[in-house]
Amino acid sequence: MSAIHLVIMGGEDVEDVRRVLAICFRDGKPLAAIDVERILSFDMEWLSPDDAETAVQSLISTGWLIEEDNSLSPSISISGITAPLGWFPRPSRLTNPASMQIIDEVEAEGGEVETIPIAVTPAVKIEVTVGDENDADPRKKLTKRLTKYIAKTSKIDIEEVERRANRKQKALAVVTNWMCLALVAKEQGIQMKEIVDALAIR
């Protein structure tokens, strides 16, 4: 497929997807689906793991991603695409993206196209300290209290909070339980300052 530039009438729906692809594939190499999901959820923290999986499959089905030899690559040119400071995509534009077929049809009908420059500003990543499970991390003592706080604030059962945290820990393998709880809290829209304050080592 030839490189497709931003269709003006496609608006921000198209811009968001282009920017996301530029960030995910900035190294210019194909990626496995699970790697794209990891970037969307854990690296950039734009989506929950479940939504990231949905987004990747939707981007494939709508023609934004091409799947070959168990690897994915963008179907558009991402050269020169950047994003403004503090930018982040609307999740629904990734889980339910505009179809590339519609964009092709607009271009075929003579629709105006324009390449909009976008500076990719990587999100600040949370540094995770990997250590022995038997080390004396004082945050471990706060996990039960943190679990109860998340459950009460988000109105989710404690068992469900624990299940989500355990699923993240299995996916990431080396991340501590309290870090996974913090990620669950962030997904639920809980003010992270309170979580950070609770986990702060004094």
Confidence (pLDDT) at 114: 42
Burial 177-198 (b: 16+ CB within 10 A, else e): bbbbbbbbbbbbebeeeebeeb
Confidence (pLDDT) at 196: 65
Average confidence (pLDDT) over 98-122: 53
Does the pLDDT of residue 94 top 90, yes or no? Answer: yes
Confidence (pLDDT) at 174: 62
What are 35's two structure tokens?
């790697």
What are 84's two structure tokens?
């403004």
Evaluate if pTM is beyond 0.85.
no
Question: Could you tell me the pLDDT band of residue 86, with boundaries at 50, 70 and 90?
Answer: confident
Give the DSSP per-residue string, the chain: ------BGGGHHHHHHHHHHHHHHTTT---B-HHHHHHIIIIIS--S-HHHHHHHHHHHHHTTSEEEETTEEEESS--TT----TT----THHHHSPPPHHHHHHHHHTT--B-PPP----PPPPPP-----TTS--GGGGGHHHHHHHHHHHHT--HHHHHHHHHHHHHHHSSS-HHHHHHHHHHHTT--HHHHHHHH---
Does the pLDDT of residue 115 top 90, yes or no? Answer: no
Q: Per-residue pLDDT tens for 58-84?
A: 999 999 999 999 899 999 999 888 888
Of residues 110 and 24, more confidently modeled = 24
Confidence (pLDDT) at 23: 92
Least confident window among 99-108, 137-146, 156-165, 190-199: 99-108
CB atoms within 10 A of CB 91: 17
Q: Per-residue pLDDT tens for 11-55?
A: 788 889 999 999 999 999 999 999 999 999 888 889 988 899 999
Q: Per-residue pLDDT tens for 124-175?
A: 444 444 444 444 555 566 678 788 888 888 888 888 888 888 887 777 766 6
Q: What amino acid is encoded at 59 in this protein?
A: L
Give CA–CA dist 117/151, Å, rounded.
Answer: 42
Of residues 99 and 107, more confidently modeled = 99
